RNA sequence: GCCCGGAUGGCGGAAUAGGUAGACGCCAGGGACUUAAAAUCCCUUGUUCGUAAGAGCGUACCGGUUCAAAUCCGGUUCCGGGUACCA
């Protein structure tokens, strides 16, 4: 019988499901391994070929680790709150719950058709009240720590769509869908104090086995700056002062003006009466600026003079105080000391408005641009002669001694806007009384479920449809007061912040997870997913984990020990896959035509997991051809096991290749180098294809070696050879290092670094012996003619290089 | 602009404590089997010169270190990702 994946794949999938082959429980005496996929949002589009890439990688590792004796936790679930289902509900009136359930069913079918070894008894769904009960519980824990607060924050309101959009959904000031204008509108929002964890989030990156790019992105996002706060008093109004943050306190003597953000509270108090009109106009101008204007690259700096002067604390000189929107209220103190000689932004501003530009570095010219490099200080009083670094320290000491400032650290990271004006999300487990008091719900009353609503249309004011649900939103408290629930819900990130913990103990209704399970399974040993989550999901998740750690609910500081981003699979034309480009590959079609094993094998063979790579249908066919060849090693046309199997010992070449193969595949699996592991299996199969007979035991082990990549094929061949049930818990083949050593080696001989000939010799030759043999070879002799050997480089069993004159 | 990553045949990619560049797969060409085709199997395939033996060139570009560089160092170009007045 030829290779028929359409027959063997459903058969083994049914076997695994019926026998619960991959069900796991805590086994204290067994080492654990936790392999995690970024769980998908079950969209209406179904799976695309990018999903199986990461899932196959973790599945291969899971299957391999199981055969190595690890107790492997590998599960799948659904990040099922989200905008598309709600958008569909607005358009059609279909409940998001129904849409979501149908999509999950489709995703489940598709994922199961790929033969992943998930413990399906641990399946989770963020929209299931039994799940989000604990999302709400974690929110209450965060709230109780004082890390959640309400705040009037501007949101992206799209009047046309009557909905609030997340920043990601706003592109160049317009809605991603439909290109409608988006305006900033203040609304009361829940915020989480992630900034309180900035330092820990930064520090603990060091111990993680993550891609440097992701660590780098998180570092930049947190954006730590070390510097100082400096107090500036307003001239002639000695009771008024503002504080600036600077990373360059050493340049204080070069500060020739100061700038306040347009929203800075001091602006109104210090502005000279004759300038009020101008200042107000400018503030309005800034407030009206859209995101589009802000990203305008050709923009010029704008600003107005307040008419007031501040006193430079270093030299007592008056400096003009300006208002300009290049200073942001949301960073630092919303005010800066401007040092145009040594800061390019200040330089441009000063140039434009004719403000003095001063160099405070010895011999440094600043008329053509700011100079931000190190140098020797000058014109700086007590700092003269010092280098930048020393001057910083000394200035901070001086400021502290004078009570005019202190050392200070700032972060770019902002608090996390945690409310969405949407229906399809976790309701906040809080209520607000008529007199404004916020009361958390009693955890034993959780979950707070979503009510059914008559319409999914948001209100004109931008509130979610929950605002129309009078029965749900209005409460009477036992003490007789009335209270309201929030019509906001949590963002999609909430459910995905902790799902890896729910997998540990998914049916626990007393707690989100048991401490026993947490201690046994955590941390996640391998986490694979798309690079698009490099910052937000991974940062939010780390933040929640650290809060849970501080509360004693988890015992590891970090959730994900090793992280890998799979590269994107591009279309055959090397462009991003998209419907509009018409280059989308549907996994269902691939499975139907070539089988799941071929899809898995091909996706892993395309190239390094982390790299982007274009799809190739002929490449996929190659993978399928390889599996057919593999099959034909075992099975004859008449469906009988091949007559080529023997019990005879292996010949030397086959034996060595076999041991090399076990070593290479094992090492490559450890390093997630699936493409080269597969190529080694191909070399092995190519070799055996040329053999009239081969050892049956080798055939068995080869079935084990391929089974992580092509599990259905592996199971079927194993079953045909050995009978019995699954190979999932068989022992992974081992190799004998002694068998890796070849009896003869081919050693290149170079003359002046150019490869000229080879020596075919036994290993362990000495330099003298090698040289003697080389000098007997015609080619070597010919190239040495008329030359003198100056030096011979001999790397034992590797290379001989003759240096001649 | 800044930060990170990358550049190897016609294509995807192998090879880094520096040691035969191009494993493996795809494509292409040739052959076997077949009435024929498909499937399968075998061979060739970096490039130039040469009938051949062989020789020259070759890992984006320029230069350096070394007996030896895809690999290390300095500079340049191009591509991908992130970020955007963060003081």
Together in a domain, A468 and A366: no
Averaged pLDDT for residues A41-59:
94
Range of the domain at A259: 224-411
Radius of gyration of chain A, Cα coordinates, nearest whole angstrom = 34
**pLDDT for A295:** 47
Nucleotide nearest to A299 (CA to C1'): B85
Straight-line distance from CA A571 to C1' B79, in Å? Answer: 18
* Pairing state between β A257-260 and A183-192: unpaired
The residue lying closest to nucleotide B42, measuring its CA against C1', is: A690
Chain B positions within 7 A of any protein Cβ atom are 3-5, 11-15, 19-21, 23-27, 39-42, 54-56, 67-69, 80-87
Straight-line distance from CA A770 to C1' B36, in Å? Answer: 58
**Is residue A581 domain-resident?**
no
With both helix axes pointing from N to C terminus, report the angle between A617-634 and A696-706 in degrees, rounded to the nearest 10. Answer: 150
A297 pLDDT band (50/70/90 cuts)?
Answer: very low
Q: Residues of chain A with pLDDT > 90: what percent?
A: 68
The residue lying closest to nucleotide B19, measuring its CA against C1', is: A799
Straight-line distance from CA A45 to C1' B24, in Å? Answer: 34
Instruction: Provide the CATH number for the domain around residue A376.
Output: 3.90.740.10
A563 Cα distance to chain centroid: 8
Averaged pLDDT for residues A89-106:
94
Closest among A591, A802, A741, A625 to A49, alpha carbons compared:
A591
Instruction: Provide the CATH number for the domain around residue A176.
Output: 3.40.50.620
Q: Is the pLDDT of residue A163 over 80?
A: no
Residues A714 and A633: beta-carbon distance below 8 Å: no
Q: Is the pLDDT of residue A182 over 90?
A: no
**pLDDT for A57:** 97
Nucleotide nearest to A247 (CA to C1'): B87
Nucleotide nearest to A605 (CA to C1'): B25
**pLDDT for A166:** 65
Nucleotide nearest to A225 (CA to C1'): B86
**pLDDT for A275:** 93
**Is residue A631 domain-resident?**
yes
Straight-line distance from CA A517 to C1' B72, in Å? Answer: 48
**pLDDT for A760:** 86
Nucleotide nearest to A752 (CA to C1'): B67
- Specify the DSSP class assigned to residue A193: -
Together in a domain, A761 and A701: no
Q: Please give the residue that has the higher pLDDT: either A366 or A685.
A: A685
Straight-line distance from CA A593 to C1' B29, in Å? Answer: 28
Straight-line distance from CA A204 to C1' B82, in Å? Answer: 21
Give ipTM to 2 decimals: 0.95
**Is residue A766 domain-resident?**
yes
Straight-line distance from CA A608 to C1' B6, in Å? Answer: 13
Q: Is the pLDDT of residue A602 over 70?
A: yes
Residues A321 and A306: beta-carbon distance below 8 Å: yes
A692 pLDDT band (50/70/90 cuts)?
Answer: confident
**Is residue A476 domain-resident?**
yes
**pLDDT for A197:** 95
**pLDDT for A448:** 97
Together in a domain, A182 and A240: no
Residues A63 and A711: beta-carbon distance below 8 Å: yes
Q: What is the DSSP string of A245-284?
A: EES-GGGGGG--EEEE-TT-THHHHHS-GGGHHHHHHHHH
A268 pLDDT band (50/70/90 cuts)?
Answer: very high
Total domain count, chain A: 4
Nucleotide nearest to A623 (CA to C1'): B25
Task: Write down the mean pLDDT value for chain A.
Answer: 91
Instruction: Provide the CATH number for the domain around residue A707.
Output: 1.10.730.10
Nucleotide nearest to A413 (CA to C1'): B86
**Is residue A618 domain-resident?**
yes
Hey, what's the torsion of the CAs at A8, A587, A681, A525, to 10 degrees? -100
Report how far residue A626's alpha carbon sits from residue A681's, in angstroms, rounded to the nearest whole number. 10
**Is residue A229 domain-resident?**
yes
**pLDDT for A169:** 66
Domain boundary among A378, A411, A444: A411
Which residues of A line the annotated binding site? 579
- pLDDT tens per residue across span A190-238: 999 999 999 999 999 988 999 988 999 999 999 999 999 999 999 888 7
Q: How far is CA A122 from CA A74, A426, A515, in A?
A: 9, 21, 17
- pLDDT tens per residue across span A371-416: 888 889 999 999 999 999 999 999 999 999 999 999 999 999 989 9
Q: Is the pLDDT of residue A294 over 60?
A: no
- pLDDT tens per residue across span A672-684: 999 999 999 999 9
Straight-line distance from CA A619 to C1' B12, in Å? Answer: 8
Together in a domain, A368 and A449: no
**Is residue A136 domain-resident?**
no
Straight-line distance from CA A706 to C1' B38, in Å? Answer: 29
Residues A681 and A705: beta-carbon distance below 8 Å: yes
Straight-line distance from CA A801 to C1' B62, in Å? Answer: 28
A299 pLDDT band (50/70/90 cuts)?
Answer: low
Residues A35 and A525: beta-carbon distance below 8 Å: yes
Q: How far is CA A460 from CA A208, A656, A681, in A?
A: 46, 74, 62
With both helix axes pointing from N to C terminus, report the angle between A617-634 and A674-689 in degrees, rounded to the nearest 10. Answer: 50
**pLDDT for A754:** 85
Report how far residue A222's alpha carbon sits from residue A536's, in angstroms, rounded to the nearest whole number. 11
**pLDDT for A755:** 87
Helix and strand numbers, DSSP H then E, in chain A = 26, 31
Straight-line distance from CA A211 to C1' B6, in Å? Answer: 15
Which residues of A line the annotated binding site for ATP? 579
Straight-line distance from CA A618 to C1' B10, in Å? Answer: 15
A24 pLDDT band (50/70/90 cuts)?
Answer: very high
Averaged pLDDT for residues A630-646:
83
**pLDDT for A172:** 63
Instruction: Provide the CATH number for the domain around residue A789.
Output: 3.10.20.590
Straight-line distance from CA A647 to C1' B82, in Å? Answer: 58
Averaged pLDDT for residues A326-331:
89
Domain boundary among A438, A470, A485: A485
Domain boundary among A411, A438, A459: A411
Q: Is the pLDDT of residue A664 over 50?
A: yes
**pLDDT for A176:** 65
The residue lying closest to nucleotide B82, measuring its CA against C1', is: A217
Nucleotide nearest to A802 (CA to C1'): B67
Nucleotide nearest to A798 (CA to C1'): B19
Together in a domain, A250 and A185: no
The residue lying closest to nucleotide B85, measuring its CA against C1', is: A326
Together in a domain, A406 and A462: no
Report how far residue A340's alpha carbon sits from residue A256's, in angstroms, rounded to the nearest whole number. 7
A577 pLDDT band (50/70/90 cuts)?
Answer: confident
Look up residue A322 and give its two tokens.
């300006």
Together in a domain, A394 and A257: yes
Q: Please give the residue that has the higher pLDDT: either A457 or A428.
A: A428
Instruction: Please enumerate in sequence order all residues whose Cβ is within 8 A of that of A436, keeping only pairs 6 or more positions apart, or say none.
Output: none
Q: Is the pLDDT of residue A298 over 50?
A: no
**pLDDT for A606:** 94
Nucleotide nearest to A612 (CA to C1'): B80
Look up residue A763 and give its two tokens.
């290993």
Q: What share of chain A is helix, strand, coil (3-state, %, to 5)?
A: 40, 20, 40
Together in a domain, A231 and A372: yes
Together in a domain, A607 and A716: yes
* Pairing state between β A438-440 and A237-246: unpaired
- The DSSP H or E segment spanning A132 is helix A129-144
- Specify the DSSP class assigned to residue A382: G
Instruction: Please enumerate in sequence order all residues whose Cβ is within 8 A of that of A73, keeping only pairs 6 or more positions apart, or say none.
Output: A24, A32, A33, A34, A35, A119, A122, A503, A504, A521
Together in a domain, A591 and A731: yes
Together in a domain, A303 and A400: yes
- Specify the DSSP class assigned to residue A120: G
Where b means 16+ CB within 10 Å and e means fewer, A672-686 reads bbbbebbebbbebbe
**Is residue A494 domain-resident?**
no
Together in a domain, A337 and A423: no
């Amino acid at each position: 019988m030829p290779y028929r994946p359409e027959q063997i794949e459903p058969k083994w999938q049914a076997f695994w499901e019926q026998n619960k082959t991959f069900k796991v429980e805590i086994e204290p005496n067994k080492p654990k391994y936790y392999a995690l996929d970024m769980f998908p949002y079950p969209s209406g589009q179904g799976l695309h070929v990018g999903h199986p890439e990461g899932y196959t990688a973790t599945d291969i590792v899971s299957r391999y680790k199981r055969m190595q004796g690890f107790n492997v936790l590998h599960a799948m679930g659904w990040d099922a709150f989200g905008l598309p289902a709600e958008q569909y509900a607005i358009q059609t009136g279909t409940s998001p719950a129904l849409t979501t359930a149908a999509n999950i069913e489709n995703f489940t079918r598709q994922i199961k058709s790929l033969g992943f070894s998930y413990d399906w008894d641990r399946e989770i769904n963020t929209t299931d009240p039994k799940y989000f009960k604990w999302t709400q519980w974690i929110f209450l824990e965060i709230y109780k720590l004082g890390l959640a607060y309400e705040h009037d924050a501007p949101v992206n309101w799209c009047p046309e769509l009557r909905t609030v959009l997340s920043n990601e959904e706003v592109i160049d000031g317009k809605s991603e869908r439909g290109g409608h204008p988006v305006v900033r509108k203040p609304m009361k929002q829940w915020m989480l104090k992630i900034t309180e964890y900035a330092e820990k989030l930064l520090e603990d990156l060091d111990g993680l086995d993550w891609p440097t790019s992701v660590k780098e992105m998180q570092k930049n996002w947190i954006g730590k700056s070390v510097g100082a706060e400096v107090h500036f008093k307003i001239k002639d109004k000695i009771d008024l002062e503002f504080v600036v943050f600077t990373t360059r306190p050493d340049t204080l003597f070069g500060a020739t003006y100061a700038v306040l953000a347009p929203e800075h509270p001091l602006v109104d108090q210090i502005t000279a009466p004759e300038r009020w009109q101008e200042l107000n106009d400018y503030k309005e101008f800034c407030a009206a600026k859209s995101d589009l204007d802000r990203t305008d690259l050709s923009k010029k700096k704008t600003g107005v003079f307040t008419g007031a002067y501040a006193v430079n604390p270093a030299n007592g000189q008056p400096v003009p105080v300006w208002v300009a929107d290049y200073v942001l209220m949301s960073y630092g103190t919303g005010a800066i000391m401007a040092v145009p000689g040594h800061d390019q932004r200040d330089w441009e501003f000063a140039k434009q408005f004719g403000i003095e530009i001063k160099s405070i570095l010895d011999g440094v010219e600043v008329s053509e641009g700011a100079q931000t490099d190190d140098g020797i200080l000058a014109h700086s009083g007590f700092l003269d002669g010092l280098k930048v670094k020393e001057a910083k320290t000394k200035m901070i000491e001086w400021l502290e001694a004078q009570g005019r400032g202190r050392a200070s650290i700032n972060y770019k990271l902002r608090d996390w806007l945690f409310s969405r004006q949407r229906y399809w999300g976790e309701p906040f487990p809080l209520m607000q009384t008529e007199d404004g008091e916020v009361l958390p719900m009693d955890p034993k009353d959780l979950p707070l479920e979503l009510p059914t609503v008559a319409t999914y249309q948001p209100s004109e004011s931008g509130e979610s449809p929950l605002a129309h649900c009078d029965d749900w939103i209005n409460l009477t408290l036992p003490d007789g007061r009335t209270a309201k629930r929030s019509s906001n819900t949590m963002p999609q990130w909430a459910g995905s912040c902790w799902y890896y913990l729910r997998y540990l103990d998914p049916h626990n209704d007393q707690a989100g997870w048991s401490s026993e399970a947490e201690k046994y399974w955590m941390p996640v040993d391998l986490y694979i997913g798309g690079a698009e989550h490099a910052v937000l999901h991974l940062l939010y998740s780390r933040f929640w984990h650290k809060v849970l750690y501080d509360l004693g609910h988890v015992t590891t500081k970090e959730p994900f020990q090793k992280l890998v981003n799979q590269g994107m699979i591009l279309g055959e034309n090397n462009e991003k896959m998209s419907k509009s480009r018409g280059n989308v590959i549907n996994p269902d079609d691939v499975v139907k035509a070539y089988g799941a094993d071929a899809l898995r094998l091909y996706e892993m063979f395309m190239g390094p997991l982390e790299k982007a790579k274009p799809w190739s249908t002929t490449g996929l066919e190659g993978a399928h051809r390889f599996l057919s060849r593999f099959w034909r090693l075992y099975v004859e046309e008449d469906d009988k096991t091949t007559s080529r199997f023997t019990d005879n010992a292996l010949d030397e070449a086959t034996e060595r290749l076999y041991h090399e193969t076990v070593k290479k595949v094992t090492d490559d699996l450890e390093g997630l180098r699936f493409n080269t592991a597969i190529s080694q299996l191909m070399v092995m199969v190519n070799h055996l294809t040329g053999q009239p007979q081969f050892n049956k035991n080798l055939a068995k082990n080869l079935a084990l070696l391929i089974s992580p990549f092509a599990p259905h094929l592996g199971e079927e061949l194993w079953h045909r050879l050995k009978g019995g049930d699954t190979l999932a818990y068989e022992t992974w083949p081992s190799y004998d290092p002694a068998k890796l050593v070849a009896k003869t080696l081919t050693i290149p001989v170079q003359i002046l670094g150019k490869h000229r000939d080879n020596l075919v010799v036994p290993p362990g030759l000495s330099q003298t012996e090698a040289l003697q043999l080389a000098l007997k070879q015609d080619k070597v002799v010919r190239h040495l003619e008329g030359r003198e050997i100056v030096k011979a480089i001999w790397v034992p069993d590797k290379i001989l290089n003759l240096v001649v004159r």
